Amino acid sequence: MALTYSKQNASNPTTPGAKAPPFRLKSTDDQWVTLDTFSDKKALLIIFMCNHCPYVIAVQDRLNAIAKKYAEQKVSVVGINPNDSTRYPDDSFEEMKKRTESGQIQFTYLVDETQAVAKAYDAVCTPDLYLYENVAGEFRLRYHGRIDDNWKESEKVTKRELENAIDQILKNPTLAPTELKFIESTPSMGCSIKWKSA
């Protein structure tokens, strides 16, 4: 397990106001999902995650709670698993299905089998979180960072940075793309994405 931190403004996909790269991925209920699936939402939280990472497991209930809390406010949560399931069978599509069917994961969960989507987003760790605002029909990046200030012990959390970012998007009037500012963030931390061998 290699501890890795999310990139901050390292390249175009993670700059303030950057458009969300398009994707077409299969969900655990065998439906094809794209950005257009969420076109009626005010915000979209995309989380690169997996089944076996202890950092993801530690925050899974928090992610479920966030998905439930904001569902009626037109905010969707989507998990994307890019890990190489050949080397890490716990991250297989079948195991993903088990986790959604059991209720361990309570939001849309997609498989990035080719890892092309994770590379397009410049994701590096699990969890790696990207919060987008719907601006004139395009999802624009507003926040790229951690969930809160204590990944390991939820009872010791004092700063709920992700929820604060969502609240800012919901409360403030939408700006033009050129006026969008990055909501202050601290990098997320987790296991490195398990890339396939070349």
- Structure tokens of 134? 């719907």
Confidence of residue 182 (pLDDT cuts 50, 70, 90): confident
**Residue 74: other Cβ atoms inside 10 A:** 14
d(CA 135, CA 133): 6
Q: Tell me yes or no: is domain 3-24+33-192 CATH 3.40.30.10.
A: yes
70 CB contacts (<8 Å, ≥6 apart)? 43, 77, 166, 170
Q: Is the pLDDT of residue 54 over 90?
A: yes
Give yes or no for a contact between 122 and 4, defined as CB atoms under 8 angstroms apart. Answer: no
- Structure tokens of 141? 């990046």
Distances (CA, A) of 91 to 41, 43, 56: 29, 27, 12
**Residue 16: other Cβ atoms inside 10 A:** 15
d(CA 91, CA 111): 9
> Given the DSSP bridges, would you call strands 75-81 and 189-192 parallel, antiparallel or unpaired?
unpaired
Q: Which tens digit of pLDDT belongs to each residue from 167-179?
A: 999 997 776 666 6
Pick the more confident residue, 4 or 185. 185
Pick the more confident residue, 17 or 197. 197
Residue 47 DSSP label: E
Tell me, what's the pLDDT at 185?
81
Residue 99: phi and psi, rounded to 5, are: -70, -35
Q: What is the mean pLDDT of residues 124-150?
A: 93
Residue 94 CA, chain-centre distance (Å), reads 20
Q: Which tens digit of pLDDT belongs to each residue from 144-174?
A: 999 999 888 889 999 899 999 999 999 977 7
Residue ranges covered by each domain of the chain:
3-24+33-192
